[in-house]
């Protein structure tokens, strides 16, 4: 897909207006703003849909302590070992993503 210069400029302006903050304290608490939804979670992995794409958090004894979709905030506690953004335009199926995550464990 090729974007015209006008569409590229508009897309870049939109990305610049989106704000997201991620704050981690001692690898034990993670606060994320700009959260749209928590797609899945267990004690080892949490997948979050954010304004800037999917966010994958891995660790142990992970707990979603506070989720406020009204304020777009999420608080996670546990031992955090890994944080990664995936491309927002990623079209892989949820099943393929789940199988990849399971193979990484």
Length of the chain counted residue by residue: 105
Give the Cα separation of 82 and 35 in Å (integer). 18
Q: How many CB atoms lie within 10 A of CB 35?
A: 19
Task: Give the pLDDT score at 39.
Answer: 94
Across the range 76-96, mean pLDDT stands at 74
Give the Cα separation of 58 and 46 in Å (integer). 7
Strand blocks (E) in 1-105: 22-25, 29-33, 35-41, 45-50, 53-68, 73-86
CB 67 within 8 A of CB 49: no
Domain ranges of the chain: 18-104
Tell which CATH classification among 2.40.110.10, 3.40.50.720, 2.60.40.2000, 3.40.30.10 matches the domain 18-104: 2.60.40.2000
Q: pLDDT at residue 45 above 60?
A: yes
Give the confidence band of 41 by pLDDT, cuts at 50, 70, 90: very high
Task: Give per-residue pLDDT as tens, 51-71.
Answer: 889 999 999 999 999 999 999
């Amino acid at each position: 897909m090729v974007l015209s210069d006008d569409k590229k400029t508009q897309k870049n302006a939109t990305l610049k207006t989106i704000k997201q903050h991620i704050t981690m304290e001692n690898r034990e608490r993670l606060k994320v703003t700009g959260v749209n939804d928590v797609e899945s979670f267990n004690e080892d992995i949490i997948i979050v849909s954010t304004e800037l794409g999917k966010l994958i958090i891995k660790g142990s004894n992970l707990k979603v302590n506070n989720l406020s979709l009204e304020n777009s905030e999420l608080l996670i506690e546990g031992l955090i070992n890994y944080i990664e953004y995936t491309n927002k335009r990623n079209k892989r199926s949820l099943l393929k993503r789940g199988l990849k995550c399971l193979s990484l464990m």
